[in-house]
Amino acid sequence: MCGLCSYWLLFCTDVNVTAQDAELVAAMTDIATLTGEPSVLSAAGLTNEMDRLLTLENTSAVSPADTRRRVVLVAGLDGDRASGDVALEAVRWFKTVADAKIRSEWSVSVLPLANPGTRQAFSFPPEDGFYNDPVVPEIRYLWRWVTYQAPDVVIELRSGTEIDVVTGAKAHRSLMDALSDPDNGNGLGIVQTIVVTVPDGAISQVLPSVLSGVVERSPLREQLQRRLVREPLAIARLLAERYPGTPGMAYIPSVAWVHTLRLATLVRDPALMEKVLREVDPWLSGDQQLVGERISFAGLAGTMVFSELQNFYQVDVTRARSLADQGVSLAAQEEAPGQPVYGSGWSDDIFLGTVASALAGDTGWLGGVGSIGRPVRGTAPAVEWSLAPCS
C-alpha cells in the first residue's frame, strides 16, 4: 500500500477515536514535536473495531548506513493504559533527559498501546493470515511492525509497584518469548527481548543500565540489513524462482510470468524461461481452457503472458498469438459504450480490462477506455470516486 493511502486509512477514515485514544494521540503528538527522534506519528494497523495501533517511529529503520543500535519499546499488550504511559515516559526521557552518549548510540521506536480494549490475549508468533485474518489481525500487525523496525533489542514496558527486569525466559508464546525463539519461523533470526516493570516516574532509573547491556546488533537486524543491500537482479531472481505461488490464468500469476521471461532474456538464463513454459503449458497445449464459466477482467488480463511468449522461438508462436487474441477479443466486448461485458464496475476495470490489449499491441479500442469509469450495470456512482485516491 502506498504511503499516502496508508496515511489516509489510518488517520482520515472513520476510526474509533475514544477519549482515551484522543489523550494518547495528544501525548504522542507532543513527544513527536520534541527535537530529535522518534518524530513520526504513525500506526502499525487497525483493529477489527477500528482502533489505531499508534506508533512513534524513527526515520532510520531502513537505512543501512545508520550505525546506531535500535530499541523498540512495546507496551499495553494486556491493554493496560498505565503501561502505555510508561512507554511514553521512556521516549520523553530519551528525547529530553538522556545524556548525549545514549542518544548518539540509540534510535527508538515505540508502540505504547498494543491491545486497546483488551479484547483477547495475544499469542505469538502468528502462523498465517498476515493480510486477512478475520479474528485477530492485531498480532499480525504487531509482529510485522516490530520486525520491520529492525531492532537490536525489544523491551516490553509494564506499570507496577516495584522495579523488575526480566532478561531470561518469558511467558510462553508471549511476544517477547517468540521474538527471542530461534524456532519462531520468521526466517530472519532472533532479537534480544527484555521485560521491564517500573512504578510511575522510575523509568529513568532503569533504562540506562538496561541499554548498556546490549552491545551487539541482533541477528534479525543483520539479516534485514543484508536484504537491504542486495543487488536488484539478485532480488529479481529470488522472486522469479518463487512466483507465482499458484499458477493460474489471472493477472497476478501472469505478471510473474511476464517479468520472469524478461529477466530470463536479460540474464540469459534458459532455466527461468523453462520454468514459465512448464507453468503455462496446460494452456499452450490445450489441456486447459483459457477461460472458465465465469469470465472476468482479472482472468483475461492473465492472457498477456501469451503476447510476451511470442518473443521466444521455443514457443509455438501461432498458438501463443491465438490465445493472446482470445483474451483481447473477450476483454473488448461491450454491452454498450463504456459498459464492458466482463467488467466488475470498479476502477480496476480500466487497468485489468486493457493490459492484455496493451501488451499485445492491439490499441485500437483503447481510445474510449475513459468511459469505463461510468457506473456499470446499475452500480452506484462510487466507481468514479474510486478512481481518485490511489490511481
**Is residue 162 classed as helix, strand or coil in its secondary structure?**
coil
pLDDT higher at 99 or 169: 99
Model confidence over 154-163: pLDDT tens digits?
999 999 999 9
81-107 average pLDDT score = 96
- pLDDT for position 145: 96
- pLDDT for position 20: 66
- CA neighbor of 390 nearest in space, from 355, 348, 354: 348
Q: From residue 347, give the alpha-carbon distance in Å to each of 149, 166, 373, 385, 389.
A: 34, 52, 6, 9, 11
207-214 average pLDDT score = 96
Burial class (CB in 10 A: 0-12, 13-18, 19+), 90: buried
Decide if pLDDT at 370 tops 70.
no
- pLDDT for position 310: 96
- CA neighbor of 150 nearest in space, from 61, 273, 25: 61
Q: List the grid coordinates of 29.
A: 503528538
- pLDDT for position 364: 60
Which domains are seen in the chain, by residue range?
3-228 (3.40.630), 232-386 (no CATH)
Lowest model confidence (mean pLDDT) among 49-63, 67-81, 253-267: 49-63
- pLDDT for position 121: 82
**How many Å is the Cα radius of gyration of the chain?**
26
In whole numbers, what is the pLDDT of the chain averaged over residues?
87
> Which residues is 53 bridged to in the sheet?
none
Distance CA 123, CA 145 (A): 16
What is the DSSP code (8-state) at residue 43? E
pLDDT higher at 1 or 371: 371
Lowest model confidence (mean pLDDT) among 1-10, 28-37, 212-221: 1-10
Helix and strand element counts for the chain (H, E): 17, 9
Q: List the grid coordinates of 173.
A: 508464546
Q: List the grid coordinates of 256.
A: 510473474
Q: Evaluate whether 120 touches 48 at the Cβ level (below 8 Å).
A: no
- pLDDT for position 363: 65
Decide if pLDDT at 381 tops 50.
no
- pLDDT for position 1: 40
Decide if pLDDT at 367 tops 60.
no
- pLDDT for position 365: 53
Q: List the grid coordinates of 138.
A: 492485531
Q: Evaluate whether 37 touches 17 at the Cβ level (below 8 Å).
A: no
Decide if pLDDT at 198 tops 80.
yes
Model confidence over 102-151: pLDDT tens digits?
999 999 999 999 999 766 788 899 987 666 788 888 999 999 999 999 99
Decide if pLDDT at 378 tops 60.
no
- pLDDT for position 5: 47
Q: Give how far the C-alpha of residue 12 lies from the chain's centroid of Cα atoms, to the nearest Å.
A: 19
Model confidence over 314-353: pLDDT tens digits?
999 999 999 999 999 999 998 988 789 998 888 888 888 8
Give the amino acid at 25: V
Decide if pLDDT at 185 tops 60.
yes
- pLDDT for position 6: 46
H helix runs in the chain, sequence order: 3-11, 19-32, 81-96, 100-105, 137-148, 175-179, 203-212, 219-228, 232-242, 251-267, 270-284, 297-301, 304-309, 317-332, 348-352, 355-360, 382-386
pLDDT higher at 379 or 67: 67
What percentage of the chain has pLDDT greater than the value 70?
86
Model confidence over 251-305: pLDDT tens digits?
999 999 999 999 999 999 999 999 999 999 999 999 999 999 999 999 999 999 9
- pLDDT for position 376: 42
